[in-house]
C-alpha cells in the first residue's frame, strides 16, 4: 500500500468557469491518473472509478460523521444551520441513522408516493398552461416549481409556501458549495432560522389537528415506546426532505432537457419502459450531485492506498458514472445500453431515500413537457451555474 503523501496530485478550481460548464474531462484525468488522486483545490483525495466509489459507499468503515477527536466544532454564529444538520439522517451513521431512516421510510411509503402520480401530472399541465407564448426559461417556469410543490404537499404544507421553501432551501445548500463566502453563510443561517420557525409552528398545528400528511405521520411515530422521533429529528428530517428533494430534482430536470435537446434525443412517448431507461441515462450522464465526502473511521486501504482514521475521501459520483470500464462509450446518452446501476443516487446505507419519487417526477415531468411542446428547442446554449459540487443550469432558454 502507498501512503497518501505519494498520491498523484491534480489541480483544477471547482469554480473555474470552464470546469463548471464541463467537469467531465477533469474527472477522466482523475480516473486515468489512479484509483485515488489528490485533488489539490478540493483539498482531499478523490476517486472517479466506479468500482472504488461503489465499494466506498457500501463500506461501514467510512462514514458521514467524523470519528471522535477529528470533527471541528462549528463557530457559534453558524449554530442555527448546524443545529439542524446535527439531527439530519444524511449527516449521521450507525444506529441513530438507521432509526431515523426507518421511521421516515415508514411514513414515506411507496403507496403514498405512487398516489402522487396523477397530482404530478396535473401540476405539470397547469405549469405549462401558464407558459408565455413562444419561449421561456424552463427553470423558473417549470423545473423549480414541480419538486418544491410536490414535496411541500407530501409534508402537508400549502402550495403557497413553495416560494419560501425554495428560497430557504437554495440559501441553505450554499453551505455545501465551493462558492461559500461569509455572505452565503449569513444567508444560510438566516434561512435556517426562518425555516425552523416555520416548521416548528406547523408541527404545533399538526399536533393539535393531525392530517393525512408526512409531518403528522412523523409526529405519530413520536408516541409509544420512546423509539420514535424527537421534535428536533422531525424538524431536521422535514428540512432535509425539502432541501434534498428539491435542489437535486430541479437540476436533474433542467440537465435532462438540455442534454436531450443538445443531443437531439427523442423522448419515447407512449413507451414507459423506454422513458424510464432514458431518465436513468440522463441521471448517469449528467447528474445533479457530483461529489460526496466520507470520513475514514478506522485505518484501511482504498484503491491500494493506505488511509488512516480521521482522513477523508471525496467520491466523485459523476466521474464514476462515466467510467469506461463500467459503461461502453460512457459520454454517449444511450437508453438502449444494457442497464446497470449508476451512482447518481449513491448506494449503501445513505442510498437516496427519495429516488422513487425523483424518478417519478422526472418521468412524468419530461413526458408532459415533450408531449405538450413537440417543437421544443434550445433558445441559447444552456449555462451551468457556479454551484459545485451541485451541477445544474443557471438558465435554460427554450423556444416552442
Ligand atoms: C440521499 C441523490 C432526490 C431525499 C441522497 C444521496 C444522493 C442523492 C447521491 C446520498 C448521499 C450520500 O451518500 O452521502 C439524489 C438525486 C435526486 C434526489 C440525484 C434527484 C434526481 C431526492 C428526493 C428526496 C431525496 C426527491 C426526497 C423527497 C434524500 C434523503 C437522503 C438522500 C432523505 C439521505 C438518505 C440517508 O442519509 O439515509 N440523494 N436525490 N432525494 N436523498 Fe436524494
Report the separation in Å between the CA atom of 267 and the middle of ligand 1, taken as the mean of its atom positions: 25
Minimal-distance CA residue to ligand 1 atom 2: 345
Angle among Cα 109, 114, 115 to the nearest 5 degrees reads: 100
Cβ–ligand 1 distance for 352 under 6 Å, the answer: yes
Alpha-carbon distance 281 to 276, whole Å? 9
Atom 25 in ligand 1: residue holding the nearest Cα: 354
pLDDT value of residue 184: 92
Whole-angstrom distance, CA of residue 305 vs CA of residue 44:
13
**ipTM score for this prediction:** 0.99
Number of CB atoms found within 10 A of residue 68's CB: 9
Counted domains in the chain? 1
Q: At residue 343, what are phi and psi to the nearest 5 degrees? A: -110, 5
- Report the atom number in ligand 1 closest to the C-alpha of 89: 37
What's the CATH number where 211 sits? Answer: 1.10.630.10
Question: Which parts of the chain register pLDDT below 70?
Answer: 1-5, 222-227
DSSP 8-state secondary structure symbol assigned to residue 180:
-
All residues at 6 or more sequence positions from 115 whose CB lies less than 8 Å from its CB, including other chains: none
Phi, psi (rounded to 5 degrees) for 232: -60, -40
Cross-strand pairs, 315:
47, 292
Pull the grid cell for residue 186.
Answer: 449569513
Ligand 1 pocket check for 252: Cβ under 6 Å: yes
Q: How far is 391 from 13, CA to CA, in rounded Å?
A: 15
Domain that holds residue 136: 2-399
pLDDT for 182-221, tens place per residue?
999 999 999 999 999 999 999 999 999 999 888 998 888 7
d(CA 36, CA 5): 12
pLDDT of 244 reads 86
pLDDT of residue 300: 97
> CB under 8 Å to 264, separation ≥6 — which residues?
none
What tens digit of pLDDT does each residue of 137-190 get? Answer: 999 999 999 999 998 998 999 989 988 999 999 999 898 888 889 999 999 999
Nearest atom in ligand 1 to the alpha carbon of residue 242 is: 28
Question: Ligand 1 centre and the CA of 75: distance in Å?
Answer: 27
Cβ(246) – ligand 1 distance below 6 Å: no
Amino acid at each position: 500500500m502507498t501512503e497518501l503523501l505519494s498520491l498523484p496530485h491534480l489541480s483544477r478550481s471547482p469554480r473555474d468557469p470552464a470546469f463548471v460548464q464541463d467537469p467531465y474531462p477533469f474527472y477522466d484525468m482523475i480516473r486515468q491518473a489512479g484509483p485515488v488522486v489528490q485533488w489539490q483545490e478540493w483539498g482531499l483525495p478523490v476517486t472517479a472509478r466506479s468500482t472504488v466509489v461503489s465499494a466506498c459507499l457500501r463500506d461501514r468503515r467510512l462514514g458521514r460523521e467524523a470519528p471522535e477527536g477529528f470533527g471541528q466544532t462549528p463557530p457559534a454564529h453558524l449554530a442555527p444551520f448546524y443545529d439542524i444538520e446535527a439531527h439530519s439522517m444524511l449527516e449521521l451513521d450507525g444506529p441513530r441513522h438507521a432509526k431515523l431512516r426507518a421511521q421516515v421510510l415508514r411514513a414515506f411509503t411507496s403507496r403514498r408516493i405512487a398516489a402522487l402520480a396523477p397530482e404530478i401530472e396535473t401540476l405539470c399541465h397547469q405549469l405549462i398552461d401558464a407558459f408565455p407564448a413562444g419561449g421561456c426559461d424552463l427553470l423558473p417556469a417549470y423545473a423549480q416549481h414541480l419538486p418544491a410543490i410536490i414535496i411541500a404537499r407530501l409534508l402537508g404544507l400549502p402550495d403557497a409556501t413553495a416560494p419560501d421553501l425554495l428560497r430557504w432551501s437554495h440559501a441553505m445548500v450554499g453551505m455545501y458549495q465551493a462558492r461559500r463566502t461569509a455572505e452565503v453563510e449569513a444567508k444560510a443561517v438566516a434561512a435556517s432560522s426562518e425555516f425552523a420557525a416555520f416548521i416548528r409552528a406547523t408541527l404545533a398545528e399538526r399536533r393539535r389537528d393531525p392530517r393525512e400528511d408526512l409531518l403528522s405521520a412523523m409526529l405519530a411515530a413520536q408516541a409509544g415506546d420512546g423509539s420514535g422521533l424527537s421534535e428536533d429529528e422531525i424538524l431536521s428530517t422535514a428540512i432535509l426532505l425539502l432541501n434534498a428533494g428539491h435542489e437535486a430534482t430541479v437540476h436533474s430536470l433542467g440537465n435532462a432537457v438540455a442534454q436531450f435537446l443538445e443531443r437531439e434525443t427523442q423522448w419515447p412517448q407512449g413507451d414507459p419502459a423506454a422513458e424510464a431507461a432514458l431518465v436513468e441515462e440522463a441521471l448517469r450522464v449528467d447528474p445533479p450531485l457530483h461529489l460526496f465526502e466520507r470520513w475514514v473511521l478506522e485505518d484501511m486501504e482504498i484503491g491500494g492506498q493506505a488511509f488512516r482514521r480521521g482522513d477523508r475521501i471525496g467520491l466523485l459520483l459523476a466521474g464514476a458514472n462515466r467510467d469506461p470500464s463500467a459503461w461502453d462509450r460512457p459520454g454517449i446518452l444511450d437508453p438502449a445500453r444494457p442497464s446497470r446501476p449508476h451512482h447518481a443516487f449513491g448506494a449503501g446505507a445513505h442510498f437516496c431515500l427519495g429516488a422513487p419519487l425523483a424518478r417519478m417526477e422526472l418521468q412524468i415531468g419530461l413526458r408532459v413537457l415533450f408531449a405538450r411542446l413537440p417543437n421544443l428547442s434550445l433558445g441559447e446554449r444552456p449555462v451551468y451555474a457556479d454551484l459545485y459540487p451541485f451541477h445544474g443550469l443557471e438558465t435554460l432558454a427554450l423556444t416552442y
